[in-house]
Amino acid sequence: MSIIWTWSLKRCPGPIFVEYHFKFRQLLRYCTGGRYAGLTKKMAEKPDVLIVGAGFAGMYAIHRFRSLGLSVHAFEAGTDVGGTWYWNRYPGARCDVPSLEYSFGFSEELEQEWIWPEVFSAQPDILEYANHVAERFDLRRDITFNTVVTEISWQEDNHQWRLTTDQGDTFEAPFCVMATGCLSVPNKPDLPGADTFKGRVLHTGLWPKEEVDLTGLRVGIIGTGSSGVQAVPELARLAGHLTVFQRTPVYTVPANRKRMNETVQNEFKDNYRQVRELQQNNLRGISNFRPMRNVEVNRNSVAPRGEGPMIKEMTPEEQHRYIKERGLESIYSFGDIYFDLEANEIANELFRDTIRTIVRSPTVAEKLLPKDYGLGCKRPVLDRDFYETFNRDDVELVDLRATPIETITEQGIQTTERHYELDVLIYATGFDAMTGALLKSNISGRDGFKLAEKWQYGPVTYLGLQMRGFPNLFTVTGPGSPSVLCNMLVAIEQHVNWIGDCIDYLRKTGTRVIEPLEASEERWIVHVNEVAEGTMYTVPSCNSWYLGANIEGKPRIFMPYVGGFPRYRFQCEQEAASGYEGFALG
Ligand code: N01
C-alpha cells in the first residue's frame, strides 16, 4: 500500500509545506500564500477501494472490504456516520421497518449486544446504533468527514477511478463504490419569492443538529409525504400555531407505538439465524418472525401486506368490521388491492370512511382524503396522530390544489386565497430519489462519457449494481435493484457482499476491470419494466418518487426492482456462480 499526495494547486497560490505530525500521526499540509493559508488537509492513503458515503451502506462496505484484505477509504459530507439517519433529525422522524429487522445481520455479537427500546425506532435510536457500529468496528479511521465528492472520473491509462472533493483534493483507486443512498438529495421546490422570506427556513431532510426551539412560533410546513406526516403532530405540540400546506392528500395508517417487549427481543436474539434466513426469502426482506414465548396470541393481528383476505369477497359490513377489529393499518393486508383496480377502489373508500370518523370537521376531513390515486401506488406512510392533529384549534390545513401558492413573501406564504404569516417555514418536500446523489457526483466513465448522458432517458444499470461504460464502479442499492422496496439493511448487506466477492474474484483471477455487457443491461431493463407493469405502482394515476414524478423534468421510469428480493438475489448469485457471464472482464 503506497502513500500518495495530490492536491489542487489552484487553491494554493503560494508554496506548500508538508510535515509529518508525530503526535497525531498525520501528514499535514500548509498553504503559505493566498486565501487558503493554513492547514488544508490531513494524511491520505491510496486504497484499493474508494467509497462515497458513510451511511449504513458505506459503513458496512468499509467493514466487509477490510475483512477481505482490501484497503478502503470513504468520504462523507456530514460530520459523522449515519447517512439518512444523520440528516433526517426532524421531530417525529422514525423508521417504518421494525427495529429488530432493521439491523445488521453480519455480526452475531452486534445482534446480541444491541438493545432496541421501541418496536419501531425513532431517529435518535437508529443514529445511536450507527455510532455504536462505527465504534465497535473502528470504522471512522477510514472515513474523511465534512467532505463532498464533486467529481468522479475513470482514468483509462492506469485503470483507476479519480475522485475530486470540494476541498480541492483528488484521490485514486482501482475500484469505486457509490454508497450515496436512495433518499439523500433533498428536493426544495423553486417557489416564487422563496429567497425573500425573512423567517427561518428548514428542510426535514437537512434538519439542524442543535435543538430548534419553536415555542410560541407560527410554523408553516409544505408537504405531506412520510416526512411531513411524521413531523406534523410533533410540530403541532412544539409550535404556537401550525399551518400545513398540502398539495396531495396521503394514505397514512397508525404506526405501532409499543415499547420493546424484552421477551420478544430475547426470542429474536435466540433465533436471529432463522430471522435472517426468512429475510433472505421474503419479497421485502422482512422475516415476519412471530415470537411465541409468553406473548398473548392476538387473533386479530395484522396479516403481512397482501397476505390477508380478498376485499372483493367480503360484504361492506365485513370490511368495516375487519378494519375496526384490526386497525386501519390492516388495510394493506387485503390480497387483491395491488393488482385489481376495482378491489383497490373498494379499499380506498374504506380508508376514506375511516378517516371521516376521526377528523371532526367534515370540510377538513374531505380535504385530507386522497381521491385521485389508490392505496399501494406510493410507499405506505405510518403516522402517530396525524389525522387527530387536525382536530386541534392551533392547526390549520391549506389545500394547495384548491388555493395554490402564488408566492413566498417576506412574512409568509401568499396563496390564491389569502396570506399566511409565518415565523418558520419547513419544507417536507422529499428527495431527488435514487438517481439524485449519483448524478450529483458528476461521474464520467470511459472516454469521458457522463453518467448524466447515459441516464438522460432514465437510469440504465445491470442489477442496479453496475453500468456499462463505467468499469469497476459499483452502486449500492442502485436503481434497478429492490432497494427502497426492500428492508434497506438487508438490501445493503446483500449488495456489499456481492461487490466485495466480485472484487475478491477479480483480484484472485488477475482481472483488472469489470463492466456489464450491453445485452445484460438491456435484458435487465426490460425485465425491471415488465415486473412493474400491471401493479398499482405504475398505473397512470400514480405519481410517486419511485417514478421520478416528484422532480420536474425527471424521466418517468419506475426505478426500483419490484420482482422481489429473493428473485433478485438469485439473479446476482447466478452471475457470481457463472464467473460473471453477464459482464465483460478484462
Ligand atoms: O417526501 P415525499 P418525504 N408544492 O416525496 C410535497 C422515506 N421516508 O420526505 O405529492 C407543494 O413522499 C409533495 O406533494 P405532491 C420514505 O421512503 C421514510 O415525505 O408532490 N407541495 C408531498 O406531499 C418516503 O416515501 C420515513 O403533490 C410539494 C411532499 O412534498 C420518502 O422518504 C420518513 C411541492 C413530499 O413527499 C420520501 O418521503 C420519512 C410543491 N412545489 C421519509 N413539492 C419513514 O417513515 C413537493 N411537495 C421511515
Give me 415's grid cell: 396563496
Which residues, in sequence order, are bridge partners of residue 475? 178
Give me the pLDDT at residue 15, please: 42
Pocket of ligand 1 (CB under 6 A): 94-96, 183, 189, 222-228, 230, 247-248, 379, 382, 400, 428-431, 484, 545, 550
In angstroms and rounded to an integer, the radius of gyration of the C-alpha atoms of the chain is 25
- Looking at residue 47, the DSSP 8-state letter turns out to be -
User: Residue 379 CA: which ligand 1 atom is closest?
Assistant: 25
Give the C-alpha separation, 436 to 445, whole Å.
18
**Ligand 1 center to 231 CA (angstroms):** 11
Which phi and psi angles does 115 have, rounded to 5°?
A: -120, 120
Give me the pLDDT at residue 2, please: 33
Give the CA-trace dihedral at 474, 479, 485, 491, to 10 degrees.
Answer: 0
**Ligand 1 center to 516 CA (angstroms):** 33
Residue whose Cα lies nearest atom 3 of ligand 1: it is 430
User: Residue 248 CA: which ligand 1 atom is closest?
Assistant: 27
**Reported pTM:** 0.91
Q: Both ends of the chain: CA-CA distance in Å? A: 23
**Ligand 1 center to 228 CA (angstroms):** 7
CB 378 within 8 A of CB 229: no
Residue whose Cα lies nearest atom 17 of ligand 1: it is 379
**Ligand 1 center to 204 CA (angstroms):** 10
Residue 540 CB neighbours (<10 A): 6
Q: Which of 379, 437, 538, 472 is CA-nearest to residue 159? A: 472
Alpha helices in 271-340 (DSSP H): 272-280, 316-326
Which residues, in sequence order, are bridge partners of residue 163? 152, 171
Q: Which of 138, 574, 139, 534 is CA-nearest to residue 339? A: 534
**Ligand 1 center to 4 CA (angstroms):** 43
Give the C-alpha separation, 51 to 39, whole Å.
24
Neighbour-count burial of 8, counting CB atoms closer than 10 A to its CB (0-12 exposed, 13-18 middle, 19+ buried): middle
Extract the residue ranges of the chain whose pLDDT is less than 70: 1-45, 294-300
Give me the pLDDT at residue 291, please: 87
Give me the pLDDT at residue 321, please: 96
Contacts of 21 (CB under 8 A, 6+ apart): 27, 28
User: From residue 286, how far is each of 99, 113, 281, 390, 571 by CA, in Å?
Assistant: 11, 21, 9, 33, 19
Which residues, in sequence order, are bridge partners of residue 516? 583
Q: Which of 120, 227, 434 to mutate to test the pocket of ligand 1 (most atoms within 8 A of CB)?
A: 227
User: Residue 381 CA: which ligand 1 atom is closest?
Assistant: 45
Give the C-alpha separation, 439 to 164, whole Å.
15
- Looking at residue 260, the DSSP 8-state letter turns out to be P
Give me the pLDDT at residue 35, please: 28
Q: Which of 514, 257, 273 is CA-nearest to residue 386? A: 257
Give the C-alpha separation, 561 to 547, whole Å.
12
**Ligand 1 center to 397 CA (angstroms):** 17
Query: Which residue do the cell numbers 480541492 mark?
Result: 168
Give me the pLDDT at residue 301, please: 73
